[in-house]
Amino acid sequence: MTDATVPSARVALVGNPNSGKTALFNALTGSRQKVANYAGVTVERKEGHVVTPGGRSLSILDLPGTYSLRARSPDEAVTRDAVLGKLAGEIPPDVVVAVADATNLRLVLRLILELKAVGRPMVLALNMYDIAQRQGLRIDLDGLARELGCPIVTTVATRKRGIEELVAKVDALIGEGALGTANSWREPSAGEIRDAHREAQRILKAHVRPPERPDTFTGKVDGVLLHPIAGLVILFALLFVMFQAVFTWATPVMDLIKGAFGWLGAFVAAHLPAGIVTSFISDGLISGVGSVLVFLPQILILFFFIILLEDFGYMARAAFLMDKIMGGAGLHGRAFIPLLSSFACAIPGIMATRVIDQKRDRITTILVAPLMTCSARIPVYTLIIGAFIPNRQVWGVLNLPGLVMFGLYAAGIVSALAVSFVIRRVMWRGTAEPFLMELPTYKLPDAANVARNVLLRGRIFLSRAGTIILPLMVVVWALSSFPGAPAGATDPAINYSIAGMLGHLLQPVFQPIGFNWQMTVALIPGFAAREVAVAALGTVYAVGGGDGATGALGATLAHHWSIATGLSFLAWYVFAPQCASTIAVVKRETNSWLWPTVMLVYMTALAYLAAFATYQTAAAAGLG
């Protein structure tokens, strides 16, 4: 472990987006990292630790990717301030590691010149060096190191090559007591950017020989994927396959989890003496945890696709294809990635809006992000679709539940576009900010990296389930168990509980959209977190009906609800008011209570209207 006599040090990773910086961070720190981050882009602060062979503990900070220290977004401001040592509550880094894609040095050289002006001791990591070698790109490492005045290490982060050498170079720099020079960095003018480019160009010419076998693969693939028509068709086909997979691949595992928890609940109920404790364990804890865990397979599959496409380099292409469509709705092309992340969870999506520089564009994106179908809605959709939509094939190949699921996702997307269009019209006018984005070369995703990231998302979901959902489940169980039924009562016990009273009290409000009082009860915790509604329905019906089997919840609902009610519930959840954590994140990101309030009001109104229209239409069609 750490030798107390060797002082620890701080290292910051800085580089262009797509330079493999995060892969290098993973290779350096392994599992010793603290991540408060989600899918898609690097937004949150990521810190990890590595101990050098000499016993020095290095704390490594993975800073958001940037092309310039002249920060334009909150994300890039973090990088600038961290490098300059101006970030509140942060100690400036002892060493800066500039991470560069060895095959794409032009822009990063200019960034390195800026970093040099800052004057901190620096090591340059030429990442993806294997690809550079394969292309026959010749880099005069010694000459470049002399020119830049910093040590250079070649790395292949995905294969963990060059990592030990990088750590050694950083360690040596700290050991020498390198202090760097005084900071002479200031925001460059247009003329200075031109000069820096000229300088970078000169360095490049002097020390790098262009590749003998340049990458032609990316150009060929782009010919298809960026084709005005074929590209869009492929994008939508990809999204369609993604959602079909989320629905069909996960089923066997979900059945297994469902079965296991059903068995466990029944086992506990059968082997413990009947009473309040047994009811708590079986109906509160086990069925609560089970109802949430069961959706882990789907969340993992969704993240698998998002991370795979991100690593392949497709996400920037998707933003290119979607820019005009989103621009028509008043959204910025860069909003595509935050909105796509919102399919997993609105929280990382809202946090990812930090890549959007202009406040109006950003707030519009934040306001519509929760309309994208987050994974927390999957439990609700799955349950209701399973109960009310017959599982049969359509046109031979598609299955009907999958199709309905796709329709619900589409409804979320269309309403997000419509709402942002209205926001642009009503709240503010004006053009979206410039859309300038690098299209990275395609890279084969690294299996270990994808697996690591997918598991990380799963872990975040579970910790959330543990910390928010479980306590809420216990509260719901308590609300629906106390006070108990009076002696000689004929109705189910829950009818006499606090939850029952609340449900009955709110019932008239929800009557016109076809909700019964059990649903109204489930909606109360549903405001705290969407997926809790499923577990709450489980608790309400398990406690009320006394059959105790979570797996049979769908059947119970099909028995108790009309089809119109089921459809109305689905419509409600397309717009359903977001979870408490989303509200908290919007408050934090916009630094005002105005936007979370606007969001809550407009989404509740939309949910009610949509459910009302759905229920009344379905009832009129004889499904009531």
Partner 1 sequence: MHDMAPTTVTLAPAAAAGRVVRLGQAQPGDRGVIVDVRAGDAAGDHGVHADELHRRLLEFGFVEGARVEVLHQGAIRRDPIAVRLDDMRIALRRRDAGDVWVLLDAQ
* Contacting residues toward partner 1, per CB under 8 A: 67-68, 70, 72, 104, 106-107, 110, 188-190, 193-194, 197-198, 201, 210, 214, 218-219, 222, 226-229, 231-232, 316, 319-321, 323-325, 328, 333, 357-358, 361, 430-441
Measure CA 270 to chain center.
Answer: 41
Nearer to partner 1, 363 or 408 (CB): 363
Question: Smallest distance, Å, CB 67 to partner 1?
Answer: 5
Nearer to partner 1, 214 or 484 (CB): 214
- In whole angstroms, what is the distance from residue 605 CA to residue 135 CA? 57
Question: Smallest distance, Å, CB 101 to partner 1?
Answer: 10
Nearer to partner 1, 5 or 431 (CB): 431
Nearer to partner 1, 110 or 354 (CB): 110
Question: Smallest distance, Å, CB 198 to partner 1?
Answer: 8
Contacts of 613 (CB under 8 A, 6+ apart): 571
Contacts of 560 (CB under 8 A, 6+ apart): 516, 518, 541
Nearer to partner 1, 110 or 207 (CB): 110
Question: Smallest distance, Å, CB 385 to partner 1?
Answer: 33
Question: Smallest distance, Å, CB 72 to partner 1?
Answer: 7
Assess contact for 442 and 218: CB atoms under 8 A.
yes
Question: Smallest distance, Å, CB 199 to partner 1?
Answer: 11
Cα-based torsion angle of the residue sequence 510, 514, 517, 520 in order, rounded to the nearest 10 degrees: -50
Nearer to partner 1, 18 or 154 (CB): 18
Identify the CA nearest to 473 among candidates 267, 286, 254. Answer: 286
The DSSP string of 47-79 is EEEEE-TTS-EEEEEEPPP-S-SS--SHHHHHH
Measure CA 250 to chain center.
Answer: 19
> How many Cα atoms sit within 13 Å of 141 on the Cβ side?
14
78-91 burial code (b ≥16 CB/10 A, e <16):
bbbbbbeeebeeee
Question: Smallest distance, Å, CB 207 to partner 1?
Answer: 15
Nearer to partner 1, 105 or 286 (CB): 105
Nearer to partner 1, 49 or 197 (CB): 197
330: left (phi over 0), alpha (psi -120 to 50) or beta: left
Pairing label, strands 9-15, 393-394: unpaired
Question: Smallest distance, Å, CB 314 to partner 1?
Answer: 13
- In whole angstroms, what is the distance from residue 389 CA to residue 399 CA? 10
Nearer to partner 1, 32 or 220 (CB): 220
Nearer to partner 1, 211 or 386 (CB): 211
For 305-413, list the strands marked E by DSSP: 393-394, 398-399
Nearer to partner 1, 46 or 332 (CB): 332
Contacts of 150 (CB under 8 A, 6+ apart): 98, 116, 121, 122, 123, 124
Nearer to partner 1, 262 or 333 (CB): 333
Question: Smallest distance, Å, CB 153 to partner 1?
Answer: 23
Query: For residue 156, what are the β-bridge partners?
Result: 161
Question: Smallest distance, Å, CB 204 to partner 1?
Answer: 10
Instruction: Give the number of residues written for the chain.
Output: 624
What sign does the dihedral 507-510-512-514 (CA atoms) show?
negative
Measure CA 63 to chain center.
Answer: 18
What are 42's two structure tokens?
A: 């690097």
Question: Smallest distance, Å, CB 330 to partner 1?
Answer: 12
- In whole angstroms, what is the distance from residue 114 CA to residue 185 CA? 7
Cβ atoms within 10 Å of 77's Cβ, excluding its own: 18
Nearer to partner 1, 30 or 430 (CB): 430
Amino acid identity of residue 109, one-letter, is L
- DSSP letter at 465? I
Question: Smallest distance, Å, CB 335 to partner 1?
Answer: 13
Contacts of 35 (CB under 8 A, 6+ apart): 44, 46, 456
Question: Smallest distance, Å, CB 433 to partner 1?
Answer: 4
Nearer to partner 1, 67 or 612 (CB): 67
Question: Smallest distance, Å, CB 366 to partner 1?
Answer: 17
3-state secondary structure of 48: strand
- In whole angstroms, what is the distance from residue 291 CA to residue 380 CA? 10
Query: For residue 86, what are the β-bridge partners?
Result: none
